[in-house]
Structure 1
Amino acid sequence: MNDDMPESEAVRLFTVPITPELAQEAADALAFFRDLAENALPAADGAPFDESATSVFLRERAQIEALAEPLRGERRKLYSMLIQIATLTKDNAIDHVRALEHDILMDPPPVWSPLTLSRVVMEGVLFSEYLLDPSISLAKRFARVAGVWMTDALHSEKQALALGADQPGASAMKAYVEDCLRKCQASERRNVRDKLIGYSVDGEDAPMDLNITERAARAMPSWLPAPYRLTSGAAHNRPWMLDRARIVAGGAGLAGEAATVMAASMVAIGAVETVVRIFGEFFGLDMSSVLDQMKTAQQGFLYRAIAIAHGQ
């Protein structure tokens, strides 16, 4: 959590069974972080912001309003949808923190499910971070949401084909997205095989979708090493990782250990910290007090958990 206790070393301390006391400590910590985030972050029905504050959101909204019609109206709608998507994925991430709180408290204790749930938390947050990234231009933001929106339309179309039923809604959605992006002057980018690989808006390019591994390395807190690797083995049912639970159980079924609970908790906590920071920077909200509380709570949780796990 700090310079004296690298996160990777902290995880290695917890190669002991999950006890009810440790599980409750982790669940309480997650609930505390979730409450902080829910009280600080914009709700699904709108983002609170100070009109007098300097923010990426207000600056970009002014840029859009300076455009001529009909481009102004079309991009205004696309920008609104971008905010809605980022808020939706944030809300889904927070909902999975709540699920993780309950999963950790299961009796008998969970095995790998905490890591899978924490991965959903992280991916939801990284989706929001990708779209609201304060460091990029408005044009690149539009290019990113164009790729994300079309990727969803293509997934919907593929699902309809897989179901083998007449699903005109999927084709209609793709046509609608294509029309909206054309009106927003988002240009398709295609490779030599004529495959759609992304979009360009006002000279700024973006791929069809975000790279989760890349975003995790870039956006998650520096105190959390390799969060994608911490969760991917369990989420993808890779034998190299799953076998650890068999060894812990002594060959009789599968057994979880405290390290799994701690890794899942830290990934979720790191993700919550990330989304609070990103929304604050984007909307010009002062999150310094919340982030300070998170830092203190994070360190306290780790040291209490070490004491519990090792009987100190």
Structure 2
Amino acid sequence: MSLDLDKDPGGPPAGEVPPEAITAVPVRHWGRWISAVLVLTVLGLIVWAFANAKINWGVVGDYLTYDRIMEGALNTLWITVCAMVLGLVLGMLLAVMRLSDNPVLSSVAYAYIWFFRGTPVLVQLMLWYNLSYIFDTLNLGFYKNEMNDVMTPFLAALLGLGLNEAAYMAEIARAGIKSVDGGQTEAAQALGMNGAKTMRRIVLPQAMRVIIPPSGNEFINMLKTSSLASVIYFEELFRAGNTISSRNLAVMEMMMVVSVWYLLLTTVFSIGQYYLERYYAKGTDREQPPTPLRRIGQQLTSFRTKSKVGGETV
């Protein structure tokens, strides 16, 4: 028996033509193109309608940096931050109380959450602002004053928004705390840590990964909900725009100005929330998504690469 060393063992048998290389043709998704065209058409019609509407865009540009609008935006930002801090601190306390083995603490926390989540924010704002109808004076022993002088629009807005937010933050914090594995607490107790130290050093840092995303959404929602404070005469962004429109009769133009400011503020805080989530996501097994700037850079690099390949310059 002879062995032919010149024959390729992996090639086709002698006398047969090798098969042609398979050319992969991507599946055409016509539905995507049709839906994209429809969406762009609708967006184009909306832009065209507003561009040809009876809106004086020059007034919108002039009032974007108007003094009263700027003060209203600052007041909106200030009441949002203060109410959110109050809601976050009180919410954390209520969450710990809900998880406590003490029936009194857990019952009080549950009743608080039940009441403030069950009544509208607008009603709560009006209750605080009109508190002088049932209490003429505020007497704390070391401090005494008329309730009308104490319950200013800012304080009523702070209590109405902050105490309501605490009820929602309590449930968010409770869910975050319960997401931490119980073995972490047992290990901390085995090392001699007490309950408060275990919560502060072990549980809460891990729970923040679950708490931060919904908390960021709550902050952005609070930023917009603060417009309800206009009914109690707090000079926030919406009330400032509404007051100006009642004088110059440019109602839609001022609403456009207010909308631009709300969009600007929510965009800034959305970006901050994104990076805060990335910070607390460190140490997890999942790979963190690229930042918006990196994503834009990757898209530009991919576009340049495809252009070079299409022009056969690689």
Fold shared by both chains (TM-score > 0.5):
no
Larger radius of gyration: 2
TM-score calculated relative to the size of structure 1 = 0.30
More helix by share: 2
Q: Between the two structures, name the one with larger relative contact order (CA 8 Å, sep ≥ 6).
A: 1
